[in-house]
Amino acid sequence: MVKTQDKWWKHAVVYQIYPRSFQDSNGDGIGDLKGIMERLPYLEKLGIDAIWLSPVCRSPQDDNGYDISDYQDIDPMFGTLEDMEELIRKAKDHGIRIIMDLVLNHTSDEHRWFLEAKKSKDNPYHDYYVWRDGTEDTPPNEMRASFGGSAWEWVPELGQYYFHQFSVKQPDLNWENEKVRREIYDMILWWMDKGVGGFRLDVIDQIAKEPDLEITNNGPMLHAFIREMSRETFQKGDLITVGEAWGADVERAKLYSNPNGNEFSMVFQFEHIGLDQQEGKEKWDLAPLPFVKLKKVLAKWQTGLYGRGWNSLFWDNHDLPRIVSRWGNDREYRVESAKMLAALLHGMQGTPYIYQGEELGMTNVKFADISHYKDIESVNMYKERIEAGYDKDDVMKSIYARGRDNARTPMQWDGSANAGFTAGTPWIEVNPNYTTINAREELEDQDSVFYFYQKLIRLRKEYPVFVDGKFELLMPEDEKIFAYTRTNGDSRMLVCANFSGEQAECPLLAEWVDAEVLIHNYPGEWSKKLRPYEAVILIQS
Ligand code: GLC
Ligand code: CA
């Protein structure tokens, strides 16, 4: 039997806050640090251990803070450095650690380093970024940026291009320059000194890019850079570190999250998230979810990392649509399907992440047209595709299904104006369903999605099998049932869910009639005929 693992983050549940959409405290329509402080009791009640805070550092907000112009200051929109220190302290009083979002692949083009870098080729900061000579109409190669257009931006005064994997306002840092790495490590140590509980590392698998070879992620130096950073910084504290790695497969994830702890605690990988799109195309090119494949992919990660790494468990984040709208049913079975998805995820091995509002079953949003959308990715895509002759309704359909603003509408606190998020005009409109879907209502209803999440979090703390149990997928080919066991010594747990809107038979439940019910998303008894989106977690010991 595996003993409950020693690292605190193996028992932890993380809650992600997208600060500009969480709680506004001063009526300017933008969420802020003081707003987060007001809501700490709510988060303590939910039972989470840590908050991953999307970037709050100083930024021109071209990509909502993922374009940092000063790593060691807070953007005035969110508050001050003192507010941040207060948040770290107050959160601690509520038993919650703060995880900072580190954006180290690129800075803002308004960062002091970049302003210097573009002054001249022999400026000491020039080599902090990735430059190539060229002529105005011929960039070094055909590489494209994630948010559209060429990845190369011409700077006429220098007769050079700089490289940017994201927007033109997000120039890539040159990690091959040791001075850059030193500056970064000093900055990380400075935040560690302030008492943060860990870091989430934005697009970390892209730092070792080799643009001449058209390599963006997983460049040859990647793990060497990460190990150096980990040794120089993270390993000096008891932190949770999570790398965002779109390009990770199981083998690579074993390196990232190896039990020696010389890289990260875990990575966010997205294999399950990319399944419902047309192969070889973009996320906007929709396809139905291949359910059997989803099960197999998740099972592969569960068994692949067992004892050899550690998984992050998530359905949602600030870049993804809302899971209940995506793979559940946000109309007649919103509550049931939100709970079913939660049970499936929280029953697995790894550290669960809850994205703000997920614990309320918040849904996607459909604004009338593109003018209501704020996200640079959606806005640029819309422009590109309309110019390329796509049908406007089809483009909007893609945004409704996959746009990042689905996750970025304000947190729905109550049924008052603007969902209690702001006394002013919110920076992005509130989802009109806030009058029925909101925290106040859910806190008064013992059967709400909120209390289901609260219970799942408690179960993880009470039953070591949630942390340590070995995963086995059952009925792998079944088109409706998602079932698996977790086994640790004599303790055996079954997670069984109907992933569909129709009744589905789960014969193996017959063997579990005497088991104890840990959680169930329908009132009353369960039977092996599962109702739409019915889910149950049972334990035998
Ligand atoms: C990550 C972030 C995303 C951001 C991008 C560039 O993918 O999650 O929000 O736009 O990196 O920093
Ligand atoms: Ca504000």
The amino acid sitting at 180 is V
Q: Rounded to an integer, what distance in angstroms lies between the CA atom of residue 505 and that of residue 496? A: 11
Q: Which atom of ligand 1 is nearest to the CA of 66?
A: 12
Mean pLDDT over 57-70 rounds to 97
Residue 126 has pLDDT above 90, yes or no: yes
Asked if residue 336 has its Cβ within 6 Å of ligand 1, the reply is: no
Q: Which residues are catalytic?
A: 202, 244
pLDDT tens figures, 476-489: 999 999 999 999 99
Q: Whose CA is nearest to atom 12 of ligand 1?
A: 66
Residue 256 has pLDDT above 60, yes or no: yes
Ligand 2 centroid distance, CA of 491 (Å): 48
Mean pLDDT over 200-218 rounds to 97
Query: Residue-wise over 18-49: b if at least 16 C-beta within 10 A, else e?
Result: bbbbbbbbeeebbbbbbbbbebbebbeebbbb
Ligand 2 centroid distance, CA of 28 (Å): 5
Ligand 1 centroid distance, CA of 513 (Å): 46
Instruction: Provide the pLDDT for residue 166.
Output: 97
Ligand 1 centroid distance, CA of 66 (Å): 6
Choosing from 103, 146, 203, 267 the residue with most ligand 1 atoms within 8 A of its CB, the one to mutate for a pocket test is 203
Instruction: Provide the pLDDT for residue 137.
Output: 93
Instruction: Provide the pLDDT for residue 4.
Output: 52
> Does domain 467-540 sit in CATH 1.20.210.10?
no
Instruction: Provide the pLDDT for residue 431.
Output: 98
Q: Which ranges in the chain are annotated with CATH 3.90.400.10?
A: 112-163
Instruction: Provide the pLDDT for residue 75.
Output: 98
In what helix (H) or strand (E) does residue 297 lie, and over which residues does it extend?
helix 291-305
Instruction: Provide the pLDDT for residue 56.
Output: 98
Q: Which atom of ligand 1 is nearest to the CA of 317?
A: 8
Instruction: Provide the pLDDT for residue 541.
Output: 84
Instruction: Provide the pLDDT for residue 364.
Output: 98
Q: How many residues does the chain have?
A: 541
Residue 507 has pLDDT above 90, yes or no: yes
Cβ contact 358:320 at 8 Å:
no
Choosing from 17, 54, 99, 202 the residue with most ligand 1 atoms within 8 A of its CB, the one to mutate for a pocket test is 202
Cβ contact 215:144 at 8 Å:
no
Contacts of 269 (CB under 8 A, 6+ apart): 245, 246, 248, 249, 253, 301, 312
Q: Which ranges in the chain are annotated with CATH 2.60.40.1180?
A: 467-540
Q: Which atom of ligand 1 is nearest to the CA of 166?
A: 6
pLDDT tens figures, 91-115: 999 999 999 999 999 999 999 999 9
Q: Whose CA is nearest to atom 2 of ligand 1?
A: 202
Instruction: Provide the pLDDT for residue 203.
Output: 98
Confidence of residue 445 (pLDDT cuts 50, 70, 90): very high
Q: What is the pTM of this model?
A: 0.97
Instruction: Provide the pLDDT for residue 478.
Output: 98
Instruction: Provide the pLDDT for residue 3.
Output: 56
Q: Rounded to an integer, what distance in angstroms lies between the CA atom of residue 451 and that of residue 126? A: 53
Residue 168 has pLDDT above 80, yes or no: yes
Confidence of residue 1 (pLDDT cuts 50, 70, 90): low
- Percent of the chain residues past pLDDT 70, beyond the cut: 99
Tokens standing for residue 63: 């990509």
CATH number for the region 112-163 comes to: 3.90.400.10
Asked if residue 66 has its Cβ within 6 Å of ligand 1, the reply is: yes
Mean pLDDT over 131-155 rounds to 95
CATH number for the region 12-104+178-363+443-450 comes to: 3.20.20.80
Instruction: Provide the pLDDT for residue 6.
Output: 83
Ligand 1 centroid distance, CA of 200 (Å): 11
Asked if residue 63 has its Cβ within 6 Å of ligand 1, the reply is: yes
Choosing from 67, 217, 273, 319 the residue with most ligand 1 atoms within 8 A of its CB, the one to mutate for a pocket test is 319
For the CA atoms of 78, 317, 286, 163, the dihedral, rounded to the nearest 10 degrees, stands at 60
